[in-house]
Structure 1
Amino acid sequence: MASKKYLLLAGAMSLLAASSGFAQVTPVYDALDSSKVPASRQAQQQNFSNHQYDFPAKPRDMWELGFHGGLHLINGTIPAKPGFGGGISLRKSLGHTFSVRAEYTGSFDKGQDYRLRPVSLNNSSAWAPTAALNNGNIVANYKTATHQLSLDLMASLSNILFYKAQPKVNWYVFGGYSLGLIDVDVDAKGANGAGYNYSGVNFSASRKDIKDQLKNIQDGDYESNAPSQGNRGNIGRKDDNQLLRHGADFGTGVAFRISKRFNIGIEEKYTLYFDDYLDGYSSPYSSHKDAFSYTSVRLNFNLGNSSKRVEPLWWVNPLNYAYNELSAPRHMKLPTPVLPDADGDGVTDQFDREPNTPAGAPVDVHGVAKDTDGDGVPDYKDKQLVTPTYCQPVDADGVGKCPDPECCKNMAAKPACNSLILPSVSFKGSSTKVSSENEAILASVANTLKSAPECNVLVTGHAGAKGKKGGVDLSSRRVDAVIDYLADKQGIDRGRFIKQNTPGESSTVDLAPAN
């Protein structure tokens, strides 16, 4: 039974851990916001805002209302059947770590033994008829119904995080006081009021077979009050039926934050009532005390106005404000930084490569005096701020000496236009396109024309013998092709070309100086 219990617990925790990926909401809590501080702590908040106190006031936070249910077992002498528990809780923080929780839990438990056990009939009259039929032995069983009130102090272990704004998973431990109203009944008699005779049961069979045989004998009415501790037989019962017991409880749990208003948890709670009769039987050979084990799934809701309250403080990282203030100061008093600058040039000494420049001297970003023309004389001494390179080196005042101009030396005489010799361009068939061979010829012509920019060019096309039909048009198109190439491809001004068409061999276009 215990292995199934922990398997169920592990599966539920895995499911909830997967769901925690949806909890991506960062808390919005501003320590400077006095609207979430109660009136009783407003004086502290005011002193903090005025830099008269180092710590902000603790804000109001929400209450947590919880509903829970799960597997309930009695750890006692008699093997337990799976029971059920459920209830409601209310939790309030004392600070970021500690909180208190009041809780009600109702539970139902059953158990069935599979062995003959001796029973002491002192204060055990319920078992007397059965013990008389079985040589002083019984097969114990029980049905227990419990109302339990608990008040626990809880400690959260996950909300002081140094590397996250807010915990998404909250581990906690707790311990406290429980008051139990416990009704323990046993099935000790048959319908006719006689005890059970187990002489026909094969107690050497398997546990399952033994329980099947017992099921056929017992009527399952649980008609009798279970025995109670001998020295408390008539003390601590309510209406001579239910046991009233003080107890201590402790446990641990984990909660997964789904949103600002809701979280899901899993918890294991152990309650000790220091009583050996919670399962209806006390072994005469041991002083073992029975205890309640409760494994629950918990649905928790935060109650309160979010405009006036923050989330329960165990979900608020107390370092959140401090780290935010370090990253983006809003409340800290930051002094104006004063860095030494011995020469007053605006570049602090720790970065100044020339820490003794005269007052008012222009400097670069490294604190070095500027030298605009690079002549070796800083601007604050230079009487000629921009000295051409060809006039350098300069004197102590930054003034250079430029050489005499030689604008007319080594200049070649411009050729006379009438001395230019320009080639002709040939076309094949009826083509009007400048061929690659003609491109090379015209490139040479362009170089010649560029060296004599004052010379114009006569471009002559030939319309064929006696200007035969169609020849003039073909000749004109070839002349245009030559001029277009020289103007568009070689950059010669179109205004320098003069066109004409004459009779003659129609496959050429002649070029000649026009001057």
Structure 2
Amino acid sequence: MKTMRYLILLMAMLVGQYCLQAQTTTTTTELGREWSDTAKIPASGMAQHTEFLNNQQPYPAKPRNMWELGIGVGPAFIFGDVASKIGVGGNLTLRKAISHVFSLRAGYTGMLTYGEAKPSLGMRGYTNRSHMLGLDLIASLNAASGYRGNPKTDWYLLAGYNLIGTQVEYDDVASGSRLFYPGNPAYPYSNNALITTVGKGDSWGLFHGLNAGLGVAFKLSPRANLGIEQKFTFIARGGYDYLDGYRAGNNSDFYSLSTVRLNFNLGNSTRRTEPLWWINPNNYVYSEINSPRHMKLPPVVLPDADGDGVTDQFDLEPNTPAGAPVDAHGRAKDTDGDGVPDYRDKEILTPLKCFPVNNDGVGTCPEPACCKEIKDMMANMAAAQPKNDCNIGNLPSIQFSNNSARLSRDAQSMLASAAAKIIANPNCKVKVTGYGASSKAAQQMSWERVNAVIKYLVEKQGVAENRFIFSYGQDGTSNTVDLQGTTEDGPNTVPSPYPNLRKG
């Protein structure tokens, strides 16, 4: 009994250690390996693993996994006609995973059990010595889960076969203890379910046995776990009633063994995973859904039928003519609000007093006398200078969130398209205009947004900084930054107006 108390104390200490460890977080290698690691794949699975890595096969190959060596000890009983005292039993096992649920376990079990005499009923005390060689099929119940990583406990059921050798010694008052002979004709039905009897004096009866049981194991570390198991062993054919040396009625005696088990994982951790019942098979699937690393994702396609820099899903005017300047919603700009879009307007800034305008956007005000002279002078000057036209076409307007100078993914995509046009038109400069003149904070935010656009085009898209004209604090839609091709000159950097108000 002292030994049992020590075993229970040891179990409590180890379970306490488990509870502390169970609070640690799961690692990034919940599969027991990196999904691309070939070191733990056997040669028989390499073809499948190669196809999996090349996205030709959706299922990864089953990796090599460790063997489990187990040692168990605990109280043993025989359930029969004679009241059983507490005996002792133990086993030594070797277990190997077939899958994440099923595994096979082979092992040796030894038991020494006792019976209590009841002379008034004709029942004699006995001692039963049994040795068993067995093979069990184990089903782990909680390896797979969609709500956690790898399990910290292994609940399981088992069923299997035992080859049993047993020797019964009963108490005889007249002659003292002596062996019970399973094949002795003095005991009718004693041969029922026997394979054979081995030995003449100290005879051993051989039986086929069937196992059933359940257990739970607590993970202590990647190499060890502590378990509790209850296992019953039945004689394969019913009717054998002499495991306790006494027959009454047509009952069938059977074994019971309760053990505390200490199990160890055997194998090189660089070439084998933990036993598969300690690995959740859903880990790879959920890891890929959360953060794709192997999944073959289709390329992102953002169609823009009219090529105005605003994708069709956001374009409110999907058939804008090529080269027409548009706003952030893909609608053709009408700077003076006269109802004639800029790409057809021959007088883009018609004064309000000259409204209404004709189909070309020209107002009703008469042209001043001086204008013709100025136009002729400008035409002559233009003819005298070498031509340096800017045919860059339409450039997008970039939208920002309120109180933010951070470029969204859509904005970055639009700027990437614009960068290609800018680089392809070296004769053009690009005027980057930000809006917001209502307050110091608005002017500072306008500066930061213009700076963010120019910085992205220079640092991320490789456009030369001297290609830009920096303009901020203009009247207009405050969350918008416009890009416009031009041949005029201007500063490409401007000091921050109110550095103390800078965001971030």
TM-score w.r.t. the length of structure 1 is 0.59
Q: How many angstroms does 1:294 deviate by?
A: 1.3
| Structure 2: distance between partners of 1:242 and 1:163 | 52
Q: Is 2:154 aligned against 1:170?
A: yes
Structure 2 unmatched runs, 5+: 366-504
Alignment match, 2:21: 22
Q: How many angstroms does 1:93 deviate by?
A: 0.9
| Structure 2: distance between partners of 1:15 and 1:262 | 11
SS in 1 for 2:76: strand
Give 1 or 2 for the bigger CA radius of gyration: 1
SS in 1 for 2:277: helix
SS in 2 for 1:40: helix
Alignment match, 1:179: 163
| Structure 1: distance between partners of 2:190 and 2:129 | 19
Q: How does 1:40-189 map to 2 (within 5 A)?
A: 40-114=44-118, 116-117=120-121, 138-189=122-173
Alignment match, 2:245: 280
Q: How many angstroms does 1:91 deviate by?
A: 0.3
| Structure 1: distance between partners of 2:344 and 2:120 | 117
SS in 1 for 2:45: helix
Q: Is the 8 A contact 2:123 2:246 kept in 1?
A: no
Q: How many angstroms does 1:327 deviate by?
A: 2.9
Structure 2 counterpart of 1:230, from 188, 195, 204: 188
Q: How does 1:453-464 map to 2 (within 5 A)?
A: none
- Alpha-carbon distance change, 289 to 392 in structure 1, aligned in 2, over 3 angstroms: farther
* Amino acid aligned to 1:278: L
Q: How many angstroms does 1:265 deviate by?
A: 1.7
Alignment match, 1:310: 273
Q: How many angstroms does 1:244 deviate by?
A: 2.1
SS in 2 for 1:36: coil
Q: Is the 8 A contact 1:387 1:400 kept in 2?
A: no
Alignment match, 2:225: 263
- Range moving further from structure 2, 98-107 or 366-375: 366-375
Q: How does 1:361-380 map to 2 (within 5 A)?
A: 361-370=324-333, 378-380=341-343
SS in 2 for 1:35: coil
User: Could you list the per-position Cα deviations for residues 411-462 of structure 1 after superposition, in whole angstroms to 9, with x for gaps in the alignment?
Assistant: xxxxxxxxxxxxxxxxxxxxxxxxxxxxxxxxxxxxxxxxxxxxxxxxxxxx
* Amino acid aligned to 1:183: Q
Q: How many angstroms does 1:176 deviate by?
A: 0.9
| Structure 2: distance between partners of 1:232 and 1:42 | 56
- Alpha-carbon distance change, 308 to 280 in structure 1, aligned in 2, over 3 angstroms: same
Q: How many angstroms does 1:370 deviate by?
A: 4.3
User: Could you list the per-position Cα deviations for residues 196-243 of structure 1 after superposition, in whole angstroms to 9, with x for gaps in the alignment?
Assistant: xxxxxxxxxxxxxxxxxxxxxxxxxx7211353635569733323222
* Amino acid aligned to 2:21: F
Q: How many angstroms does 1:292 deviate by?
A: 0.7
SS in 2 for 1:258: strand
User: Could you list the per-position Cα deviations for residues 241-298 of structure 1 after superposition, in whole angstroms to 9, with x for gaps in the alignment?
Assistant: 2222221111111222232212222211110125311111111xx2111111112121
Q: Is the 8 A contact 1:382 1:399 kept in 2?
A: no
Alignment match, 2:378: none
Q: Is 2:213 aligned against 1:251?
A: yes
Q: How many angstroms does 1:181 deviate by?
A: 2.0
SS in 1 for 2:212: strand
Alignment match, 2:424: none
User: Could you list the per-position Cα deviations for residues 44-88 of structure 1 after superposition, in whole angstroms to 9, with x for gaps in the alignment?
Assistant: 222332334332221100111111112211111111112221121
Structure 1 unmatched runs, 5+: 118-137, 196-221, 402-515
Q: How many angstroms does 1:309 deviate by?
A: 0.7
Q: How many angstroms does 1:37 deviate by?
A: 0.7
TM-score w.r.t. the length of structure 2 is 0.60
Alignment match, 1:420: none
* Amino acid aligned to 2:266: L
SS in 2 for 1:153: strand
Alignment match, 1:239: 199
| Structure 2: distance between partners of 1:176 and 1:392 | 100
* Amino acid aligned to 1:318: P
- Alpha-carbon distance change, 232 to 81 in structure 1, aligned in 2, over 3 angstroms: closer
| Structure 1: distance between partners of 2:311 and 2:246 | 88
- Alpha-carbon distance change, 78 to 334 in structure 1, aligned in 2, over 3 angstroms: same
* Amino acid aligned to 1:142: Y
User: Could you list the per-position Cα deviations for residues 358-406 of structure 1 after superposition, in whole angstroms to 9, with x for gaps in the alignment?
Assistant: 2223334432334567776655456676789x989785648898xxxxx
Q: Count how many residue pairs are aligned between Structure 1 and Structure 2.
A: 342
Q: Is 2:36 aligned against 1:36?
A: no
| Structure 2: distance between partners of 1:70 and 1:394 | 103
Q: Is the 8 A contact 1:377 1:398 kept in 2?
A: no
* Amino acid aligned to 1:237: T
Q: How many angstroms does 1:21 deviate by?
A: 5.5
Q: Is the 8 A contact 1:66 1:299 kept in 2?
A: yes
SS in 1 for 2:221: coil
| Structure 1: distance between partners of 2:337 and 2:13 | 74
- Alpha-carbon distance change, 85 to 315 in structure 1, aligned in 2, over 3 angstroms: same
- Alpha-carbon distance change, 147 to 392 in structure 1, aligned in 2, over 3 angstroms: farther
What percent identity do the matched residue pairs reach? 47
Structure 2 counterpart of 1:359, from 322, 344, 354: 322
Q: Is the 8 A contact 1:17 1:256 kept in 2?
A: no
| Structure 2: distance between partners of 1:302 and 1:61 | 9
| Structure 2: distance between partners of 1:155 and 1:399 | 88
